[in-house]
Amino acid sequence: MPKETPGKGNASPVDRVETASENKGGAVESGVSTPKTMKTKSKTADSKSQPKKSVAAKSKKGNVSSVKPKSVKKPAKSTKTKKPAAKSTKPKKTTSPALESKNEIESNPKSTLKVSNQIPKERRAKIERSLSNHKGKKRSEWDRAGGVKQHRFLKKRIKPGTIRKIKMPLLDVTMGDDWATPVTVIHGARPGPVVTVTGAVHGDELVGPLACSMLCQETMIGIGKALDAATMAGTVRIAPILNPPGFRRNSRYFPDGRDLNREFPGRENGNTTQRVASHIWDGLVQDCDYLIDLHTAARGRTNLPQIRADLVHPESNRVARAFGLEVILDSKGPRGTLRRVASDHGIGSVTYEGGGANFTDHEAVKVAVYGVLNVLRSLHVIPGHPSRPRFRLLASGSTWVRADEGGLVDMFVSSGSFVEKDDIIGRIMDPQRPGESADILSPERGLLICTANNPFVTAGTPVGHLLPINRGVQLVKRQLDAQNRLIISGSADEPPWRDEAEVDEIAIEGSWSGGAVDAEWQRDWAQPGLGDAESLASGAANSTADAVGEEESSEEEQ
């Protein structure tokens, strides 16, 4: 069984919406957001002019549990352009200090759930209007009194309370490859919504296929497990690979060079990719109630785990929040994307983005699995309480950080890094002009939701995608690890698919002294102010005498 993120369920369910003046309209996925010219300082070999301020040097600041004086040990001063290898500045993954700081956050009763709202006023009003007009999805077929029906998928019938693995062909052919792809259908014993989870619409994005595979493991599916058809109310369809030829060739595209995620809902008699899109749309998606499409960043960059959804669409808004992540980008998505077409057809749909292409990002996979479970819990498809983040950043715009020189960039930060204005994001070096370098500075304070990992840059190449943060700064800072990276909800927890047998158990032998765990503790402390010293002393003696007889029966866990 998956573990609940500790304390998450206790967060206040009431979102406090802060007003914001900071608006940068523009769809995130279409890249229309306001580009900002980044400041680049050209450097010569003069090592004295090295900027003192670096992300590494100030990395401790945001961490509540760390001690300040230790912070200056990074190479910003000493190593100049000659040693690109000295990149220990790169933030590492979450370590134990991160957990400590997280626990501190959780023990702080003031940390209630908040929304740091960066969405323009008009858009916010539109979202609020559409949510208040929305009645909520209630279908007669979800009515428990009506009983459960067989689930139909690709002309096959699936009995209530059972699981079927079905191959879905993506082309109608009798010769050649039909690119059949596996779909696992878990049809609950009780009625409820149909939720479809998809991966590898882009063939080289491996987080989706992995997360889907994890969801289909024996540790997740079956009696008593997280996805138990016997207790499920509704149906879950899991399709790990929607682009099988691309997946086999490590390619984002279909063999005809097209991007499947621009061709929905497809055309039955169109080009190859359109035909595939049409099969997926008709067979897998159009009749479902909710869609979770799992993606990563395209080649050459890495995404901080995030959700993208059209927040004006009430059911999409609901799923976006239910996923349980800190970062939600409000956008309709480019034309022809599965998510956009699904939303337009009334399906509550979100895209999850985490990690990069051709790379098995363990953290991103784990967060995706937790997110899917959160959505299923929130929709009451499976039992349990969804975990909630400490805060949500709802964004409708961003700032791009670009290189202004060409060469090889050595990144000082990674996706999820929190940066202040003028922090060094990376350093560009041109191996043909040894000894020279140019620093890329952050144009403003914010959270990097995506960073480049392809070192080759020319002037204008984006190296970072920044969410400017002007509100809730302290809240965000309290959830940074020792390297100033945001600790994403679910990332610090155990993988939910881990088998019970894989958990090491260490036996500690002995017996409880006094017959109970807490028997040897002093019974109580004398309380001053209740009388004089003598009566206190005699009272204490009496209570000790009484306690002996009670000890076994009164043993309690603390």
List interacting residues with Zn ion (CB under 5 A): 202, 205, 295
> Nearest approach, Cβ of 205 to Zn ion (angstroms)?
5
The smaller minimum CB distance to Zn ion, of residues 342 and 469, is found at 342
The smaller minimum CB distance to Zn ion, of residues 79 and 415, is found at 415
> Nearest approach, Cβ of 267 to Zn ion (angstroms)?
21
> Nearest approach, Cβ of 293 to Zn ion (angstroms)?
8
Going by C-alpha positions, the residue among 213, 214, 231 that lies closest to residue 222 is 231
Contact call for residues 126 and 172 (beta carbons, < 8 A)? no
> Nearest approach, Cβ of 296 to Zn ion (angstroms)?
6
User: Cis peptide leading into 265, omega within 30 of 0?
Assistant: yes
Contact call for residues 276 and 171 (beta carbons, < 8 A)? yes
260 CA to centre of own chain: 24
> Nearest approach, Cβ of 209 to Zn ion (angstroms)?
12
> Nearest approach, Cβ of 135 to Zn ion (angstroms)?
33
H or E segment at 121?
A: helix 121-133
Nearest residue relative to Zn ion (C-beta): 295
The smaller minimum CB distance to Zn ion, of residues 90 and 262, is found at 262
Q: Which amino acid is at 406?
A: G
The smaller minimum CB distance to Zn ion, of residues 204 and 228, is found at 204
Burial of 64 (0-12, 13-18, 19+ CB in 10 A): middle
The smaller minimum CB distance to Zn ion, of residues 114 and 295, is found at 295
> Nearest approach, Cβ of 203 to Zn ion (angstroms)?
9
Going by C-alpha positions, the residue among 406, 431, 408, 409 that lies closest to residue 82 is 431
Pairing assessment for the beta strands 233-239 and 327-330 based on DSSP bridges: unpaired
The smaller minimum CB distance to Zn ion, of residues 202 and 340, is found at 202
Burial of 165 (0-12, 13-18, 19+ CB in 10 A): exposed
* Rounded Cα gap, residues 156 and 142, in angstroms: 20
The smaller minimum CB distance to Zn ion, of residues 202 and 377, is found at 202
Burial pattern 38-55, b for ≥16 Cβ within 10 A else e, equals: bebeebeeeeeebeeebb
> Nearest approach, Cβ of 80 to Zn ion (angstroms)?
39
* Rounded Cα gap, residues 98 and 485, in angstroms: 9
* Rounded Cα gap, residues 510 and 506, in angstroms: 13
The smaller minimum CB distance to Zn ion, of residues 202 and 471, is found at 202
> Nearest approach, Cβ of 297 to Zn ion (angstroms)?
8
> Nearest approach, Cβ of 204 to Zn ion (angstroms)?
9
Question: How many CA atoms lie within 13 Å of 351's alpha carbon, on the beta-carbon side?
Answer: 28
The smaller minimum CB distance to Zn ion, of residues 205 and 363, is found at 205
Burial of 455 (0-12, 13-18, 19+ CB in 10 A): middle
> Nearest approach, Cβ of 371 to Zn ion (angstroms)?
16
Residues 6+ apart with CB under 8 A from 389: 8, 11, 113, 324, 325, 326, 489
The smaller minimum CB distance to Zn ion, of residues 184 and 243, is found at 243
* Rounded Cα gap, residues 433 and 408, in angstroms: 11
Helix segments in 312-406, DSSP class H = 314-322, 338-344, 362-378
The smaller minimum CB distance to Zn ion, of residues 205 and 326, is found at 205
* Rounded Cα gap, residues 101 and 390, in angstroms: 13
542 CA to centre of own chain: 57
> Nearest approach, Cβ of 298 to Zn ion (angstroms)?
7
The smaller minimum CB distance to Zn ion, of residues 361 and 405, is found at 361
User: Residue 72, Cβ neighbours under 10 Å: how many?
Assistant: 14
